[in-house]
Amino acid sequence: MVDFARVQKELQECNRDVDVSGISVKPKADNLTRLVGTIPGPVGTPYEGGTFTIDIALPDGYPFEPPKMQFATKVWHPNISSQSGAICLDILKDQWSPALTLKTALLSIQALLSSPEPDDPQDAVVAQQYRREYQTFVGTARYWTETFAKASSLGDEEKVQRLVEMGFSESLVRNTLKDVGGDENMALEKLLSA
C-alpha cells in the first residue's frame, strides 16, 4: 500500500524550493498515486529554456518500488523514447532505493538530460544520431525543446526555417505545413514518418 503520509511530505519538500530548483510535483486531480512533475531543461544543453512535464504513477509498493515515470513532453534524447516518453534510468528500475524520493528521481532525470548515455539507449535512432552526427542531434534536440517544451507561437517562416535546419527540403516542409494547416508538431511527425 502506498505510504500517503510520505507522499504528502515529498510533495511539500519538492515544492518548497521550486523557485530555486524549478522542479515541482503536483497531484493529478485528488489522486496521490497519479502525479505530474516538471523539470527545467539544464543550462548549457539543447534542453535549456524548456519546461518538461513528467507523468508519475506510484505503484502500490511505493516507496519500496520505484515510481513509474515517463515524459509527457516530447523530447529528443538517447535515453528517452521519442515515441512514448519512456525513460531508461537505473534508479527507476533496479537501482531504486526507498531512501530516494520523487525529487531525487526528478533531479536524476534532469541530470540525464545533461549527460546522455548513448551506449545504453532507450531510443536507438536518437542514440545513433548522437554518436554519428552530434551537431544534427543538438539541432534536433534544440528544435524539439523549442517546439514541445516552450510555449511559443512562431510565424510560418520561422517554422519553415526550423524544419529545414533539421535536414528536410524547403519545398517538402512548406507543402507539409500547408497539408496540416500550419501545425508544426503535426508537420514534424508527418515528415519523420515519410
3-state secondary structure of 9: helix
Asked if pLDDT for residue 153 goes beyond 70, the answer is no
Asked if pLDDT for residue 152 goes beyond 60, the answer is no
CA distance linking residue 46 with residue 169, whole number of Å: 23
The whole-angstrom distance between residue 138's C-alpha and the CA centroid of its chain comes to: 15
Residues 6+ apart with CB under 8 A from 147: 74, 162, 184, 185, 188
Residue type, 158: E
Question: Quick one: average pLDDT of 140-144?
Answer: 96
Beta-carbon neighbour count of residue 148 at 10 Å?
Answer: 20
Active centre residues (catalytic):
88
State what percent of residues in the chain have pLDDT above 70. 97
Question: Quick one: average pLDDT of 86-110?
Answer: 96
